[in-house]
């Protein structure tokens, strides 16, 4: 293959199978403590290459993150500090291993392979950058990279157009990334760099360095960016609301809410390109999904297909099954689900015994509030606590662990329902309490509001829990979670 660039197309795997064995890498700068949905597209490109029999490297760019890629940035990135980048790198490593493991277990057996899958390896560019001096770096790269090539890059033009200018270390970022490519070529026989199609300029610098310095040929593979219908890039840096970012780390976004965010993607996102970016479906399968989407849009078949495939890849089969079961209970009356039952009835009657046992096992997991697949609050209030004290503590837990549920409004604004009993109706004109609660020190505490309810109302709501499991369903507006009661009121 003589081309410097090979753009991914629907048939690119067939083309790769006919060529000599490749070794490809893709870099990911750890500028956050988690990968996000946009990163998944390029990583899936690596997995496709691996399935085609090529060796691949997921490169953690700890060293390059200290500089900051200016691509697509109108202003200079804020440095997070060496320790944070190092910590983020470990998070990336863990997520790469999980993704690759799920891919080998759940997806690779379905590929029609013409040869054995390639090897998968994780590396960190700090391994070699920390061993060289500035003079070493400049001697290797500077005489092989032209100023005009750097100055004419789109990132430089974008920064000039914004009026903020560009610092010298950002200007030299492509040289640092080019060095990575050349190093991996020399030391690991890596002849392909993969990246989003906004990385063409950086990839080209690496290809030029290898050609001029090493007198060898290398090339790049680009994958589409994950774009919203308005053309904006889907990712953490382009999101107006941090809660909208779809993180892959379960500590930042629980698998259940990860699944729900994908299931609730707008219909306008459902294009062949968007689906192909996030799944391993064939063109024929995507066409069938979109046909069903057109015929039954309220059922969201395209969103469901994406949610199932991506949750399976990111979090594994157990989390996918648990998330789907929880969705059937918490959102039983949704048009997406086949049943239209009250959540409490769906919990007690809408599941088979096997499904029920599996869901109960997931709900009872001690780490569920942060690491588990479902939205669970473990009620550890003393047995003799009053119904209002129990509810007060549960609400505190719900709000304190609600970062990945998007609870941005107060309970009073959204309304509060417990086991189907409406305790507080939505009040869009609610205002914060003027005095802090004596118990939890929060001005948003609703103890006084709850205390004003008719006697026995809260106790009756608790009694409506599912007696077989002791689980209650707490609903704040449209957002729901399970509450595991240590003791059910009798």
Inter-axis angle of helices 301-315 and 37-51, nearest 10: 70
Average pLDDT, 10 consecutive residues per value, the chain (490 residues): 37 50 92 94 94 94 88 75 93 97 93 88 95 88 81 76 76 89 95 91 91 90 86 67 83 89 92 93 94 91 95 93 86 62 70 78 63 73 82 80 53 83 80 50 64 88 81 82 60
| Encoded tokens for 128 | 């070699």
C-alpha–C-alpha distance, residues 483 and 373, integer Å: 14
| Encoded tokens for 58 | 């997921």
Predicted local distance difference test score (pLDDT) of residue 481: 80
C-alpha–C-alpha distance, residues 244 and 285, integer Å: 28
- Order the strands of the 421-424 sheet from edge to edge: 376-378, 479-484, 471-476, 416-418, 421-424
- Do 23 and 55 meet the contact criterion of CB atoms below 8 Å apart? yes
- Do 48 and 13 meet the contact criterion of CB atoms below 8 Å apart? yes
Number of neighbours of residue 146 by Cβ within 10 angstroms: 12
C-alpha–C-alpha distance, residues 364 and 110, integer Å: 33
DSSP H or E stretch at residue 320: helix 317-330
- CATH code for the part of the protein at 5-223: 3.40.50.620
* Domains 5-223 and 254-367 belong to one CATH topology: no
- Do 255 and 296 meet the contact criterion of CB atoms below 8 Å apart? no
Q: Which fold has domain 254-367?
A: Tyrosyl-Transfer RNA Synthetase (1.10.240)
Predicted local distance difference test score (pLDDT) of residue 236: 62
Predicted local distance difference test score (pLDDT) of residue 286: 95
**DSSP for residue 125:** T
- Integer angstrom CA distances of residue 456 from 156, 320, 423, 444, 466: 67, 39, 11, 23, 19
pTM of the model as a whole: 0.82
Pairing of strands 55-60, 192-196: unpaired
Q: Which of 195, 61, 214, 58 is nearest to 127 (CA)?
A: 61
Q: Which of 153, 199, 174, 184 is nearest to 8 (CA)?
A: 199
Domain boundaries, the chain: 5-223, 254-367, 375-490
Predicted local distance difference test score (pLDDT) of residue 277: 92
Number of neighbours of residue 157 by Cβ within 10 angstroms: 11
C-alpha–C-alpha distance, residues 123 and 46, integer Å: 14
Predicted local distance difference test score (pLDDT) of residue 429: 66
C-alpha–C-alpha distance, residues 67 and 177, integer Å: 11
Predicted local distance difference test score (pLDDT) of residue 335: 56
């Amino acid at each position: 293959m003589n081309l410097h660039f090979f753009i991914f197309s629907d048939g690119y795997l067939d083309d790769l199978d006919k060529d000599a064995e490749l070794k490809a890498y893709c870099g990911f700068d750890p500028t956050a403590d988690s990968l996000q949905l946009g990163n998944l597209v390029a990583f899936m490109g690596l997995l496709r290459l691996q399935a085609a029999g090529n060796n691949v490297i997921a490169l953690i760019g700890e060293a390059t993150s200290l500089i900051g890629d200016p691509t697509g940035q109108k202003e200079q990135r804020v440095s997070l500090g060496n320790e944070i980048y190092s910590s983020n790198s470990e998070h990336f490593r863990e997520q790469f291993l999980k993704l690759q493991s799920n891919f080998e277990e759940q997806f690779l057996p379905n590929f029609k392979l013409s040869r054995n899958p390639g090897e998968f390896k994780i590396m960190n560019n700090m391994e070699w950058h920390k061993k060289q001096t500035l003079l070493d770096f400049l001697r290797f790269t500077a005489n092989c990279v032209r100023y005009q090539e750097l100055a004419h890059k789109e990132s430089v033009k974008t920064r000039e157009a914004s009026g903020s200018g560009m610092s010298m270390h950002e200007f030299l970022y492509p040289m640092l990334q080019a060095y990575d490519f050349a190093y991996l070529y020399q030391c690991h026989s890596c002849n392909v760099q993969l990246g989003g199609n906004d990385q063409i300029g950086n990839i080209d610098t690496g290809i030029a360095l290898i050609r001029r310095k090493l007198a060898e040929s290398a090339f790049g593979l680009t994958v589409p960016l994950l774009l919203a219908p308005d053309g904006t890039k889907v990712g953490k840096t382009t999101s107006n609301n941090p809660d909208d970012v779809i993180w892959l780390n379960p500590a930042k976004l629980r698998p259940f809410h990860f699944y729900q965010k994908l299931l609730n993607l707008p219909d306008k996102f459902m294009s062949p390109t968007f689906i192909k970016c996030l799944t391993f479906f064939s063109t024929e399968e995507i066409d069938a999904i979109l046909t069903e989407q057109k015929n039954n849009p309220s059922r969201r078949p395209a969103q469901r297909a994406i949610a199932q495939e991506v949750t399976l890849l990111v979090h594994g089969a157990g989390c996918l099954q648990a998330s789907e079961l929880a969705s059937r209970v918490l959102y039983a009356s949704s048009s997406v689900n086949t049943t239209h039952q009250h959540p409490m009835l769906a919990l007690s009657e809408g599941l088979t015994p096997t499904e029920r046992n599996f869901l109960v096992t997931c709900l009872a997991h001690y780490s569920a509030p942060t690491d588990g697949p479902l939205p669970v609050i473990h009620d550890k209030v003393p047995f003799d606590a009053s119904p209002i004290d129990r509810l007060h503590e549960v609400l505190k837990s719900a709000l304190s662990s609600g970062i990945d549920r998007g609870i941005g409004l107060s309970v009073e604004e959204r309304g509060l329902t417990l086991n189907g009993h409406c305790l507080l109706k939505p009040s869009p004109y609610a205002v914060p309490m003027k005095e802090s609660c004596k118990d939890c020190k929060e001005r948003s505490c609703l103890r006084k509001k709850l205390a004003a309810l008719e006697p026995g109302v809260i106790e009756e709501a608790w009694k409506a829990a599912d007696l077989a499991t002791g689980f209650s369903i707490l609903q704040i507006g449209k957002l729901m979670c399970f509450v595991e009661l240590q003791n059910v009121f009798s």
